[in-house]
Chain A
Amino acid sequence: QVHLVQSAGEVKKPGASVRVSCKASGDTFSTYGITWVRQAPGQGLKWLGWISNYNGLTNYAQNLQDRLTLTTDTTTNTAYMELKNLTSDDTAVYYCARDPSFRPPSKNWFDPWGQGTLVTVSS
């Protein structure tokens, strides 16, 4: 049973970068991938991208691929999401979730989800 714990919320200024971590426990890390999803205040869910914990291959949402970097550290079973050049439109709760796919493209469901990390972008 996989359990995901995310880093604490952050407040950033426009133009800055943010890095959110997602530490996994409970199953062999390399046998699945991690998907990242965000939810702006009062809004729905948006898929950001996926990374394989097996080989580090990634898929990104096209509108973010210039600013978004997903990585994993198999020594600590931790996935990371870095988003650069933040604007107020990036204010959202960011979720990581286990994705059973470890080879691209992911065609799978997401379960479980981390508790979410609120990233606030404000001057």
Chain B
Amino acid sequence: EIVLTQSPDFQSVTPREKIIITCRASHFIANNLHWYQQRPGQSPKLLIRFSSQSMSGVPSRFSGSGSGTDFNLTINSLEAEDAATYYCHQSSGLPQTFGQGTKVEIK
């Protein structure tokens, strides 16, 4: 099983700050890495697919990068609505797995 490890587990940030969430895979996964946002009480929402492809309608302050085993989700100029838990997900091998999540709090 491919293990995804996210860091940090939690981050408290002020509005307009920038945050980088990292996701490290235990095995090579090429670019088969996707990012989701889950606001409290809601279903997950796909933000980025295949490491860096932004989904339609997602604000441009969200961007993804990386390949192989190391990936980043960058959120520029955070807004209050970005308070959520963020998950990475690998689709390279079965079972498909998720990172443990990074909770982002807006001060």
Contacts and interface: CB of A to CB of B under 8 A. Distances in A.
Interface residues of B, number: 22
Interface of B is mostly: loop
A113 interface: yes
Contacts of A59: 94
B55 A116 contact: no
Given A44-B101, A45-B87, A107 B43 contact: no
B95 A44 contact: no
Given A108-B91, A109-B91, A114 B98 contact: no
Given A44-B87, A45-B87, A109 B46 contact: yes
A64 B36 CA distance: 24
Contact of A107 (B55, B91, B98): B91
A59 B93 CA distance: 11
B44 interface: yes
Interface residues of A, number: 24
B65 interface: no
Interface in A67-105: 95, 97, 105
Contacts of B100: 44
A113 B45 contact: yes
Given A44-B100, A47-B97, A111 B91 contact: no
Interface in A21-53: 35, 37, 44-47, 50
A61 B91 contact: no
Contact of A109 (B50, B94, B97, B99): B50
Nearest to A59: B94
Contacts of B46: 109-112
Contacts of A62: 95
A61 B101 contact: no
A115 interface: yes
Interface of B: 32, 34, 36, 43-46, 49-50, 55, 87, 89, 91-92, 94-101
